[in-house]
Amino acid sequence: MFRHGLPVLLFCFISLCATSAFAEWFSDEQAIMGTSVGVTLWQEDPEIARRAISAVMAEMRRIDNSFSPYKPDSELSRVNREAINSPVTISGELMTIIDKALYFSRASGGAFDISFASVGRHYDYRQGQQPSENQREDLLAAIDYRLIELDKTSSTVSFKHPQLQIDLGGIAKGYAVDRGIAILQQFDVTNATVSAGGDSRVLGDRRGRPWVIGIKNPRGQSLAGDPSESEDRVAIKLPLQDTAISTSGDYERFFIDQNSGERIHHILNPRTGKSVAGVTSVSILGPRGFDTDPLSTAVFVLGIERGLALVASLSGFDAIVIDSAGKVHYSDGLTPPVTEVDQSP
Ligand code: ADP
Ligand code: MG
């Protein structure tokens, strides 16, 4: 009896150490998909934590390699080259993403439209370039999600306009954070966050406290050297658990047109092919990034009234919209903590 007691006691001691002393937060951040991808998780075994994080990062790179419009070998680039001529066979995964995009196009009356790229690909925000008026008007007819024909039985897609091009920039990052969370769940992780730029999803809580996700003040001051993460840019802090949140902002990718003084940014109105004015930031809360990501872009295009009406018509979502005067608008499900953000330079 006694001889067996020691190993049992020892075992208890070791497992106690493992759960209380060694368990900790692990996190990593990498530049993927043209943005910063972050993973934070709670784990007892550092080796499992390392494997889980690297599996999420590998998945992010795989998604980027498949659906980037900038990589000539991606499945998306192949579709953009070939779907104009005849139906192209696509993967089940791309089919699911295009199908979801078309759902949000119909739901938003065309405000969300992945064929925005027919015009959108002629913008280069880093170089400060935009399409000429003629080019924009010529290509406008190629922005129309109804000209994207998805055939689920034959697994093909075809474009019904010779200049039509698609870009998944408004939906792929939300899809990617969901994939990241699913992978962490396979590793039995129960407390984590995965983010890709403005799209985040939190799993569980922060062990007894909620996760706190900040919404940036679109016109807030940023510290030199670190324009993205300085504390004074955070306008609203949200305590969250088991939620996805996607923010679309006009401050992420933009330049100021030297002639007109207008802010030319990366969210385009499919009806005009021009950057949307009126709101500066839209955040959508909901169960999955695959929905909150396209919805945040759609609401940005629709503006406050029609955008909030769309959110109210779908169940399970909430919205926080900051307009160009700095006023904060909330969907009915939320209690407003902050009603205005400082716009002073
Ligand atoms: P972020 O890319 O910063 O997360 P969004 O989720 O709002 O922000 O996505 C903006 C991206 O969506 C743009 O960079 C572009 O790739 C794409 N996009 C722009 N306008 C539209 C639109 N009207 N419909 C669908 N996608 C769009
Ligand atoms: Mg979005």
DSSP string, 195-253: EETTEEEEES-SSSS-EEEEEE-TT---BTTBTTT-GGGEEEEEEESSEEEEEEETTSS
CA-to-CA distance for 293 and 34, rounded, in angstroms?
16
Mean pLDDT score, 36-57: 97
Burial of 208 (0-12, 13-18, 19+ CB in 10 A): exposed
Q: What's the gap in Å between 36 CA and the centre of ligand 2? A: 15
Query: What is the residue-averaged pLDDT of the chain?
Result: 91
- Return the SS3 of 7: helix
- How far does the chain reach from its first CA to its final CA, in angstroms? 76
Mean pLDDT score, 74-80: 98
User: For the segment 121-165, what is each residue's pLDDT rounded down to a tens digit?
Assistant: 999 999 999 999 999 999 999 999 999 999 999 999 999 999 999
Q: By the 8 A CB rule, do 173 and 199 touch?
A: yes
CA-to-CA distance for 2 and 156, rounded, in angstroms?
70
> Which ligand 1 atom sits nearest the alpha carbon of residue 268?
20
Cα angle 316, 319, 322 (rounded to 5 degrees) comes to: 175
Mean pLDDT score, 233-255: 93
Cα angle 93, 99, 103 (rounded to 5 degrees) comes to: 145
CA-to-CA distance for 299 and 303, rounded, in angstroms?
6
pLDDT for position 333: 85
What dihedral do alpha carbons 107, 183, 200, 64 form, nearest 10°? -70
Q: For atom 15 of ligand 1, which residue has the closest CA? A: 169
Burial of 260 (0-12, 13-18, 19+ CB in 10 A): exposed
Q: Examine the pLDDT at 205 and tell me if it is beyond 90.
A: yes
DSSP string, 63-90: HHHHH-SS-TTSHHHHHHHHTTTS-EE-
Q: What's the gap in Å between 239 CA and the centre of ligand 2? A: 21
pLDDT for position 16: 39
User: For the segment 308-336, what is each residue's pLDDT rounded down to a tens digit?
Assistant: 999 999 999 999 999 999 999 999 988 77
Q: What's the gap in Å between 270 CA and the centre of ligand 1? A: 11
User: For the segment 110-120, what is each residue's pLDDT rounded down to a tens digit?
Assistant: 999 999 999 99
Q: For atom 11 of ligand 1, which residue has the closest CA? A: 170
Residue 40 vs residues 30, 43, 134, 232: alpha-carbon distances, Å: 12, 10, 47, 23
